[in-house]
Amino acid sequence: MKRFPWVLLIAVLVLMGWVGKVNAQQPTPSDDEVNAIASQLFCPVCENTPLDVCPTQACAQWRDEIRLRLAQGWNEDQIKDYFAKSYGIRVLAEPPRQGLNWLVYIVPPVAFIAGAFILFRAFRSWRALSKQSDGQEDLNINQNESDPYLERLEKELKERG
Amino acid sequence: MLADLGFGLMVLTFVTAIFSAVAAVVGVKKKDPRWIESSRRGMILQLPLVSLVVLVLLYLLVNNHYEVKYVYSVTSLSMPLYLKLTALWGGQAGSLLFWAWLLSIFTTSVMLRNWERDKEFLPWVVVVTSLTMVFFLSLNIFFENPFIRWWSTIGGETAAMFKPVGAVLINPGDGTGLNPLLRHPGMIIHPPMLYLGFVAFIIPFAFAVAALITGRTDDRWIRITRRWTLWAWLFLSIGLVLGARWAYDVLGWGGYWGWDPVEIAAFMPWLTGTAFLHSVMIQEKRGMLKQWNMLLIILTYDLVIFGTFLTRSGVLSSVHAFAQSAIGPMFFSFIGLTFIVSVGLLMHRWNELKSENPMTSVLSREALFLLNNLLFMGILIVCFWGVIFPLISELATGQKVTVGPPFYERATAPLFASLMVLMALAPLAAWGHSTIKTLGKAIWKPALLAVVIPVVVLFAGIRNFAALIGFFLVALVIFVTIYEIWRGSMARHKKHKEGLLTSLMKLVARNRRRYGGYIIHISMVLMAIGILGIEIFQTQTQGTIPQGSSLTLDNYTVTFDSVAQFDTAGGRNVTRAVLSVYEDGKFVGQVFPRRDYYYESQQPMTIPGLRSNLKDDLYVILVDWQPISAVGATFKIYKNPLVNWLWIGAIVFIAGMFIAAWPDNKPIKQEIRRSRMVQVPGTVK
């Protein structure tokens, strides 16, 4: 019975040490760690405002939520998923690659390649036309060899457009 | 009563614009030049009319007529005179009226030119410009009237143009004042610059439509509007840079461009405008790319209206809010109608606009300009799609999405890099025909010099691949351009035996467009240096520290010296911190980040403390959503390497534009005298 207080004291000291160690293993995440994730998210309410620079009280609370999750050992992807599920995918800096959102990523390169292809085809037909007309010009030159004045006239007319 | 006068004059201008459009068409149909002359005079009359409207509104703004809703919403008693004047474009109604006023200045200038050679263009230029004026004035008259007043009725307060039954006019005594964010010098001048650029592009578009309708598909319309295009592009570019500087100075997030849809809305007409500016040279010199030029100016016009629409209609907050708003559907309909009609005209003349010369060499200068068009269109598609996709998603799925900077940066970076390659190649490519061999021969020396730069950067410890490529391309463009200028100067120097500097000046004077263009290219890559620096190498830190403590970022240490709070005469409460900056342990100066709180609008604003040099900016913000006192204040610090090259590039750009836009030296007139008749002996006199 006399030992009981000592046992209790030792147990409390051991418990305090363990809690302290747990807390020491999970220091409060710094502003930089919070901002590193917040800068990749957008305010769910304000228009096109990244979460790390949004000055509203709501955004301050959301940044505190990021801090809490980091303290709980969550990683960046888990926190971003959590925000997307809680507040909608508009909080993400880009639409997730699923469903209709694929169009965001596909349309611009496809349009660019289509444009480049059209130009390539046009260029090839110009070259073919040019080769034909070079041949025709050679023929004409042979036929007009005796008329240098006509040649000069045609050249000047061509230059004037 | 003044508000009634202003509104009445606005309606009169609106009617005059309708008359001009109708008279021009009647003149064409009846082949009666008197109707066309009448339409021209109607256009000229709009300037004094709309100027009076603007003067009335300015009078109301300056003289505290808060019974007028617009005056109430953008001014207050405590605002200084210059801010009350600039509040003309501080709100939606005023800025639409300002747009119309700028349009009337430009159209009057066009109407006063000599039309002797271009009579067939006149009526159609009148139609296009007057219909644009009708559109903007209709927005003011029917939806965003700057002259509506506050009335007290039995049901409560209301705003209306004309007195409701039994109502009494209210004067609130003071206004809410201009949004504090708009009181920055950059923001005062940014809207006028942007609008000058937007509106000036209306003129080449009007001439393009006139060319399509009349069948004058030669380059006459381009030659007439060449200076308009240059000035439009200058103002639009300056407007964009000022907007970026404003964002950097007052938005407090350490950057200058956030790929915000409103920013992109102003950027898109700049993209097509830049492509147009280059592409028209090919039509002038080689009679090619005519279809492209028509398409580009049509797109520029509609993107100008679209840009104004995006920033004013509320469509970006919600597509449903847009549908319910008054102004959104009007803009949408006008853009749709003008685009369909313009493209219809283009299709009608498609075959007449075929190139006069075939393009046979993929490395010829004309081919590289064509590639230039393709790249600018590529960037445009990325921007346009990124802006409208969230609206499409909301309409189709009900779900809002954000298309943010990672999408735009990833998609546009290779396209911008390709444009820089073109800036290096095109000056060296020959008209008609170039080969890899000829280009290689021209470029190898500057390219060898340019390779030195990324090697130096690599040795300095930078391993970022995008940065190395970027700096190489910057150096390549600069060296190629300087090489070209040097070659031209040397050739002239050898031929004319004049000093090298004289040769350079005369070379530039003889072809200002080319050499001004080269300087503009250099300015663009100087800006690219700033962009590469801040986008790739920006670092930041944030922390809450008590007075006397420090924060460290890379080689900088910032110590919190003191903080003070005081009220100013302008109705602000200012919290101002003083911090000492140490670079590599050495004291380099102090910065003074501030938080200003505006009592009347109950709005805070953060102004960063900035220490700038060519190497980097140290940008310190007093984070105002945390408590601020000597016990503890939160600071966010950004280090922005090389960012000042962005602003330096902008200044070089302006210089280049002035050179490019200045008329070339006139040809020297030589008097030819008739020689005396010399009698040859033996001939008849």
Per the CB < 8 A criterion, the answer to whether B72 and B176 are in contact is: yes
| B382 near A CB under 8 A | yes
Inside any domain, residue B69: yes
Instruction: Please list every residue in chain B whose beta carbon sits closer than 8 Å to the beta carbon of residue A43.
Output: none
More confident residue, B421 or A7: B421
- Mean pLDDT score across all residues of chain A: 80
Instruction: Report the residue from B251, B407, B606 with minimal CB separation from A104.
Output: B407
Q: CA B333 → CA B15, B132, B278, B292, B326, distances in Å?
A: 21, 13, 30, 25, 12
pLDDT per position as a tens digit, B507-525: 888 888 889 999 999 999 9
pLDDT (0 to 100) of residue B498: 81
Give residue A10's pLDDT band: very low, low, confident or very high (50, 70, 90).
confident
Which of these three, B101, B126, B148, is where a domain ends?
B148
Residues in chain B with pLDDT < 70? 312-325, 664-685
Per the CB < 8 A criterion, the answer to whether B574 and B563 are in contact is: no
Inside any domain, residue B603: yes
Chain A neighbours among B 631-660 (CB < 8 Å)? Answer: 634, 636
pLDDT (0 to 100) of residue A160: 53
Q: CA B111 → CA B40, B43, B47, B223, B275, distances in Å?
A: 6, 7, 11, 16, 27
Which CATH number do you get for residue B98?
A: 1.20.120
A49: left (phi over 0), alpha (psi -120 to 50) or beta: beta
Question: How many A/B residue pairs have CB atoms within 8 Å?
Answer: 116
Q: Give Dmax over CA atoms of chain B in angstroms.
A: 116
pTM listed for this prediction:
0.89
pLDDT (0 to 100) of residue A18: 55
Mean pLDDT throughout A90-97?
A: 93
Q: CA B9 → CA B91, B94, B110, B312, distances in Å?
A: 20, 15, 23, 24
Inside any domain, residue B458: no
Inside any domain, residue B650: no
Euclidean distance between CA atoms B604 and B572, whole angstroms: 9
Instruction: Please list every residue in chain B whose beta carbon sits closer than 8 Å to the beta carbon of residue A129.
Output: 358
Inside any domain, residue B196: no
pLDDT (0 to 100) of residue B682: 44
Given a cut of 60, whether residue A138 has pLDDT beyond it is: no
What's B406's DSSP letter?
A: H
Rg (Cα) of chain A, in Å, rounded? 37
In three-state secondary structure terms, B178 is: coil
Inside any domain, residue B480: no
Mean pLDDT throughout A105-128?
A: 89
Count up the domains in chain B and report the number.
2
Question: Nearest to residue B178, comparing CAs of B87, B242, B94?
Answer: B87
Residue A48's closest chain B neighbor by CA?
B260
Which of these three, B97, B120, B148, is where a domain ends?
B148
Token pair of B110 as six digits: 């066009």
Phi, psi at B119, each rounded to 5°: -60, -35
Chain B neighbours among A 17-76 (CB < 8 Å)? Answer: 30-32, 35, 42, 47-48, 50, 52-53, 55-57, 59-60
Which of these three, B100, B132, B148, is where a domain ends?
B148
Instruction: Report the residue from A48, A112, A119 with minimal CB separation from B402.
Output: A48
In three-state secondary structure terms, B112 is: coil
Q: Which of A51, A104, A107 to mutate to test the interface with B (most CBs of B within 10 A)?
A: A104
Euclidean distance between CA atoms B21 and B39, whole angstroms: 7
Inside any domain, residue B444: no
- Tell me whether residues B385 and A55 touch, CB distance under 8 A: no
Question: Nearest to residue B270, comparing CAs of B407, B403, B376, B387?
Answer: B376
Euclidean distance between CA atoms B15 and B138, whole angstroms: 10
pLDDT per position as a tens digit, A54-88: 888 889 999 999 999 999 999 999 999 999 999 99
Residue B217's closest chain A neighbor by CA?
A161
Inside any domain, residue B573: yes
| B416 near A CB under 8 A | no
| B404 near A CB under 8 A | yes
Domain that holds residue B126: 1-148
Given a cut of 70, whether residue A128 has pLDDT beyond it is: yes
In three-state secondary structure terms, B253 is: coil
Q: CA B622 → CA B254, B256, B607, distances in Å?
A: 12, 18, 8
Instruction: Please list every residue in chain A whose beta carbon sits closer than 8 Å to the beta carbon of residue B287.
Output: 161
- Tell me whether residues A94 and B404 touch, CB distance under 8 A: yes
Euclidean distance between CA atoms B169 and B191, whole angstroms: 32
